[in-house]
Chains A and B, each alone.
Chain A
Amino acid sequence: MPNEHDGTPPESNESLSKEELKKRAAAEAKAKALELAKQKALEKKEESEPAEKSNEPDDTLAKDKALAAAKAKAAAAAKAKAAAAAKAKAAREGASDGAATEDEKALAAAKAKAAAAAKAKAAAAAKAKAAREGASDGAATEDEKALAAAKAKAAAAAKAKAAAAAKAKASRGGAADSSDASDEKAKAIAAAKAKAAAAARAKAAAAAKTADEPAEEQKPSPLQPLLDKYKAIIQKELGDGALGDSYINLLSKDVPTLVAQPDTYFKIAQLLKHHEELRFDYLSELHATDFETHLEVYTHFYSYSHRCPVALKVKINREEAVIDSLAPLWAGADWPEREAYDLIGITFKGHPNLTRIMMPDDWIGHPLRKDYEPYDVEV
């Protein structure tokens, strides 16, 4: 297996010009992508076959299945590795290219540098895009060509590594499976591995997709319907203006996030708890943050009856930090609200016992505020 720390792909030849190399790499990458797609289709067929036969007790069939699964796993693992390597390459290239700039071809060097920078940014951009539409400006200003080149290079490196990895894995997996394929345990392991491989494949595919088409629109989150449902219910029950904002927080496992107005915060919470279709009976987390322009209370709820999560936020005026308490709705909000009062300085209206909880009762100031200065009697 090639050393992953080694940044240079095996077929990269220093005598070739960067331009040529790039072109070739791009071509190869394309070919590879095609091949991958084909292979994937094949595997899918392969996998679905044994799945259908899984009921048959025949031992040889089971053996076949295990082998197939192992094979599938090897391929998927290779793919996953390819994706990872590509990503890693992109990240590392920035550093390794520093040496290349020594080259007398100043123009090519500059281009390479630009490419490296672009690569790093491209990865970031892909992610950032997922989070916010507007934040990708950095990547957008970059040269499209450089971006493509970066991709191609990464793909070339990935290919070599993937091939080696696949070979190694396949031989190992094959040996292991043939020796004790009849064993029940081996079968179970193989099944688990196949499951893992499937997950890896899905991930790899997703990664490949985002890497290939960073400009493409992110497909809607699987939790989008949930958010739409929440929004619809809140709109129906409390009217249009109740909800300040709502979005899917892609950084936080796609949790549907609602932003309430200070005056509708309690009403929305009440609705979340008591509405038949929502029933958020579990308060998982409540805390506050000082964002300097405002304070924010973040709550995370979970509905055990419908098995779905939601995050509810509310922005509070920093000077006059007062908000309704959720303790009457969820007894579990009692201490977290006291903590928020103690450390951030938010007064919760209707809280049964709003006293300091972490700091001593005579403490002055709220330590987690960004402008907090420890009070000292002697100063």
Chain B
Amino acid sequence: MIRTEEMLLNVGPQHPSTHGVFRIVLKIDGETIVEANPVIGYLHRGTEKLAENLQYTQIIPYTDRMDYLAAMTNNYVICHAVETMMNIEIPERADYLRVLVMELGRVASHLVWFGTYLLDIGAMSPFLYAFREREAIIGFLNEISGARLTFNYMRIGGVKWDAPEGWIEKVRDFVPYMREQLAGYHDLVTGNEIFLNRVKGIGFYSKEEALDYSLSGANLRCTGIEWDLRKDEPYSLYDRFTFDVPAFDSGDAWARYQCRMAEIEESLKIIEQAVEQFPETGEVMAKVPKIIKPPKGEAFVRIESPRGEIGCYIASEGKKEPYRLKFRRPSFYNLQILPKLLVGENISNLITILGGIDIVLGEVDG
């Protein structure tokens, strides 16, 4: 076999397919990757350090900026951590609103992933189609929270705003519409021979490796492990809904694609049921003290974000600021396996593999 001189290639920090400021230093032989060394931290804003001087409610807007594609789950994880520590009961209506916005956020997040992934692979149109539907969802979230991406919607003990008049009906009507569009995506992309060739068998890892590398979310489920915190460690109201945990066995980019597309459908199921069960009246805020002071001690809770398992650790001294706040950021953990997957692949596959992991750099860098 012919071996040529190796070349260092800097992919990023500014590159169309790294989805943010992320850099990989590649050692390539022709177009084959010999070694990959990811460099992160360009977007590190020190959320955890800042949080040590903020009251709990003041931290919520900071969480919006971590995973900015699914900020509702981030809002939820910190509220959930504090509520777990303080043993606060959430009013039913608020809990339903939380589930609704989180699932809408999950659909929106997967749509962005779907669009950008196809864009990475070279298909331009699906991106714009996916963004049309995402725009509708963002409209809903905007209507309920007043912001399009950084919602700052949840509060410890409930949510900030009740659903406006007619909002629930609009969400109800959105579900069949979204299903129809989803079928369109499948028609356009899922059967495309070129697409299948690009993703099948690419970026394979086994069940054991997935667990070893602490992967979560679709990255874990693509190896056939049926694990979803919504189902397996139910929080909020998720034990009231019937939905499946889609898992595929092949462990490659194709399985990850199928997983995420199936998750959109499952989220729609949840939204449908939540809309049906939505209580007509009720409070959206529990009665909580003006100044939130969790008892002394520590707590770690984890929930299922679109990207995987997002966790929040709080060490409290019983004061109004956390002593230490730490987020388990799924993208950060999921990205670890990248250097291992890249060795021996060619540069085109780098894009397929990186895109398939579905990272948000705001979350990777914290």
So, do A and B actually touch in the complex, CB under 8 Å? yes
Taking A92-B287, A135-B296, A335-B332 as contacts, is the C-beta distance between A281 and B85 under 8 angstroms? no
A31 on interface, CB distance cutoff 8 Å: no
CB distance from B197 to the nearest CB of A (A): 30
Which residues of A, 354-368, contact B by the 8 Å Cβ criterion? Answer: 356-360, 367-368
Which residues of A, 179-234, contact B by the 8 Å Cβ criterion? Answer: 185, 189, 192-193, 195-196, 199, 203, 207
Q: Is A298 touching B309 in the complex (CB atoms < 8 A)?
A: no
CB distance from B308 to the nearest CB of A (A): 10
B117 on interface, CB distance cutoff 8 Å: no
A150 on interface, CB distance cutoff 8 Å: no
The interface residues of chain A lying within 8 Å CB-to-CB of B85 are: 251-252
In the complex, A195→B266 CA distance in Å? 21
Q: Which residue of A lies closest to B293 (CB)?
A: A124
Which of B8-16, B19-27, B38-46, B185-193 interfaces with chain A?
B38-46
Give 1 or 0 for each of A339-366: 1 = CB within 8 Å of chain B CB: 1000100000000000011111000000
The interface residues of chain B lying within 8 Å CB-to-CB of A63 are: none
In the complex, A91→B285 CA distance in Å? 14
A249 on interface, CB distance cutoff 8 Å: yes
CB distance from B94 to the nearest CB of A (A): 12
Q: Is B300 touching A300 in the complex (CB atoms < 8 A)?
A: yes
Q: Is A251 touching B299 in the complex (CB atoms < 8 A)?
A: yes
Q: Is A249 touching B212 in the complex (CB atoms < 8 A)?
A: no
Subset of 24 A-B contacts with CB under 8 Å = A4-B283, A88-B287, A128-B295, A128-B296, A189-B276, A189-B277, A193-B277, A195-B239, A195-B240, A203-B89, A249-B297, A249-B299, A251-B84, A251-B297, A285-B313, A285-B326, A285-B328, A289-B315, A289-B323, A291-B323, A304-B211, A331-B337, A335-B335, A360-B41
In the complex, A24→B242 CA distance in Å? 47
- List the interface of chain B (C-beta within 8 A of A): 40-41, 44, 46, 48-49, 84-87, 89, 91-92, 208-209, 211-215, 225, 227, 232-233, 237, 239-241, 273, 276-277, 280-281, 283, 286-289, 294-302, 309, 311, 313, 315, 323-324, 326, 328, 332-333, 335-337, 365-366
In the complex, A307→B226 CA distance in Å? 12
The interface residues of chain B lying within 8 Å CB-to-CB of A307 are: 232
CB distance from A258 to the nearest CB of B (A): 14
Q: Is A358 touching B295 in the complex (CB atoms < 8 A)?
A: no
In the complex, A4→B158 CA distance in Å? 16
Contacting A368 at CB < 8 Å: which of B48, B273, B336? B48
The interface residues of chain B lying within 8 Å CB-to-CB of A167 are: none
Which residues of A, 308-336, contact B by the 8 Å Cβ criterion? Answer: 311, 330-336
Total number of A residues with any Cβ neighbor in B under 8 Å = 62
Kindly list 20 other residue pairs between chains A and B, CB separation below 8 angstroms, not including A131-B296, A307-B232. A87-B89, A88-B286, A91-B288, A124-B295, A127-B86, A127-B87, A203-B89, A252-B84, A253-B84, A281-B212, A285-B313, A289-B324, A298-B298, A298-B313, A300-B300, A304-B225, A304-B227, A330-B214, A334-B336, A359-B44
Query: How many Cβ-Cβ contacts under 8 Å join chain A to chain B?
Result: 152
Contacting A284 at CB < 8 Å: which of B277, B299, B309, B366? B309
Contacting A252 at CB < 8 Å: which of B49, B215, B298? B298
Contacting B212 at CB < 8 Å: which of A87, A88, A330, A368? A330
A109 on interface, CB distance cutoff 8 Å: no
The interface residues of chain A lying within 8 Å CB-to-CB of B232 are: 307
Q: Is A358 touching B287 in the complex (CB atoms < 8 A)?
A: no
In the complex, A132→B296 CA distance in Å? 9
Q: Is A284 touching B336 in the complex (CB atoms < 8 A)?
A: no
In the complex, A290→B241 CA distance in Å? 41
Q: Is B49 touching A367 in the complex (CB atoms < 8 A)?
A: yes
Q: Which one of B41, B276, B288, B315 has the highest number of Cβ atoms from chain A below 10 Å of its Cβ?
A: B41
A287 on interface, CB distance cutoff 8 Å: yes
In the complex, A368→B53 CA distance in Å? 12
In the complex, A335→B337 CA distance in Å? 10
In the complex, A359→B42 CA distance in Å? 8
Q: Is A252 touching B336 in the complex (CB atoms < 8 A)?
A: no
Contacting B286 at CB < 8 Å: which of A84, A124, A290? A84
Taking A189-B276, A283-B214 as contacts, is the C-beta distance between A357 and B40 under 8 angstroms? yes
In the complex, A316→B232 CA distance in Å? 34
CB distance from A259 to the nearest CB of B (A): 12
The interface residues of chain B lying within 8 Å CB-to-CB of A127 are: 86-87, 295
The interface residues of chain B lying within 8 Å CB-to-CB of A68 are: none
The interface residues of chain B lying within 8 Å CB-to-CB of A192 are: 240-241, 273, 277
The interface residues of chain B lying within 8 Å CB-to-CB of A1 are: 281
CB distance from B174 to the nearest CB of A (A): 19
In the complex, A243→B276 CA distance in Å? 50
Q: Is A84 touching B212 in the complex (CB atoms < 8 A)?
A: no
In the complex, A244→B316 CA distance in Å? 22
In the complex, A88→B315 CA distance in Å? 25
Q: Is B296 touching A311 in the complex (CB atoms < 8 A)?
A: no
The interface residues of chain A lying within 8 Å CB-to-CB of B295 are: 124, 127-128, 131, 135, 251
Give 1 or 0 for each of A70-96: 1 = CB within 8 Å of chain B CB: 000000010010011001100110000
The interface residues of chain B lying within 8 Å CB-to-CB of A84 are: 89, 91, 286-287
Q: Is B365 touching A172 in the complex (CB atoms < 8 A)?
A: no
Give 1 or 0 for each of A1-16: 1 = CB within 8 Å of chain B CB: 1001000000000000
Q: Is B332 touching A331 in the complex (CB atoms < 8 A)?
A: no
Q: Is B41 touching A358 in the complex (CB atoms < 8 A)?
A: yes
In the complex, A360→B44 CA distance in Å? 10
Give 1 or 0 for each of A114-155: 1 = CB within 8 Å of chain B CB: 000000000010011011100100000000000000000000
A255 on interface, CB distance cutoff 8 Å: yes
When A and B form their complex, which 3 residue pairs have the shortest distance between CB atoms, in order from nearest?
A: A332-B214, A88-B287, A252-B299
